[in-house]
Amino acid sequence: MLGLSTEPGGAAAELERRRRAPAQRVQHLLHTHPALSPAIILLLTCVAFTLLNDRFAAPAALSLLIQQTAVVAALAIGQTLIILTAGIDLSVGAIAVLSSMLAAMLAAEHGVPAPLALVVGVATGMAAGSLNGLLVTRVGLPPFIVTLGTLSVFTAIVLIYTGGQSVPGADLPDWLTWTGTTFPLGDFRLTYGVVLVALMYLVVGWALSQTAWGRHVYAVGDDSDAARLAGIRVSRVLFSVYAVAGLIYGLAAWVLIGRAGAASPNAIADANLESITAVVIGGTSLFGGRGGILGTLLGALIVQSFAVGLSLAGVDDQYRLLAVGILVIAAVSVDQWIRRVRA
């Protein structure tokens, strides 16, 4: 009667099912559209900070926000690829700094033509990522241990090679600082580094969504054993992910030089944490197999929005760290909830 089951307890079960249906629909929605939650958070963040201080929405402030996001957003692309395979990369910042310092030193100290120095720097990033991939796939070490070790190795190589000295912008050729050059876009001012990062997002986003390689990346992250039984060469996919991530870190090093206007062995000290934060807040699961780079871009913008918004509101920077920490915990909690979705 009234559409309810006549079995003992059936009415209560039906009412419980109906009560939980909206929550389950939200679960399914967030499961199929991982970028939705960070998009909502970014929108609410922008609205809140604009209400607190209308300068937040000014073209000058938004231009600065986008420029400041570029380096972490670039690094987070590679981090996303690795986390999609249920791994993690703690050597992100060290690889980028190694690439940037090598390119800068070759051009400024050894007279190597800037284009060649840049190619060597980017190739070094790819080689470093490939080393991580070999240790994970051939030696069989966990990604956390591998990248924790290479973090120290690459950092030490940079300090030994450079003697801890920076390369000032005055000594760098225009080729290396080109990514920091600004140009007008309506009322905004962007850098060519921002354009380069946007192109990287488009290319990697296309590769993940439109190629067999991208489908294999998701399959390996979701269940590597099932992927292997399906005929996917898991080790080859994992190695390619780490190599591509290293290439991306090398390109991010170029953006870093342009953004800083110099090359420093002490640059982007928080890159590892910030890139992971952007990926997690962006909706990519730390357990692999779910997420995407659109969410990562939104996550990077959210983190930087808190930095700019709280600064304009006159709030101490420590509270930004507090807010980001709460967001990370909330994002992982939501991810755990979404993973319990029923087909």
Per residue in 261-293, pLDDT (tens digit) is: 999 999 988 888 889 999 998 889 888 888 899
Per residue in 45-78, pLDDT (tens digit) is: 899 999 988 899 999 999 999 999 999 999 999 9
Q: What is the pTM of this model?
A: 0.88
Amino acid at position 74, single letter: A
Annotate 4-19 with DSSP letters as a single string.
---STTHHHHHHHHHH
Instruction: Spell out the domains of the chain, with CATH numbers in brackets.
Output: 60-302 (1.10.3470.10)
Q: What is the pLDDT of residue 278?
A: 92
**Contacts within 8 Å (CB) and 24+ apart, 232-238:** 235/137, 235/138, 236/137, 237/85, 237/213, 238/85, 238/87, 238/133, 238/136, 238/137
Q: Are 289 and 307 in contact (CB under 8 A)?
A: no
Cross-strand pairs, 119: none
Q: 10 Å Cβ neighbour count for 210? A: 10
- Closest Cα to residue 241, out of 94, 81, 77? 81
Q: Say how far apart CA 259 and CA 64 lie, in whole Å.
A: 11
Q: Name residues whose C-beta falls within 8 Å of residue 2's C-beta, 6 or more positions apart in sequence.
A: none
Q: What is the pLDDT of residue 12?
A: 61
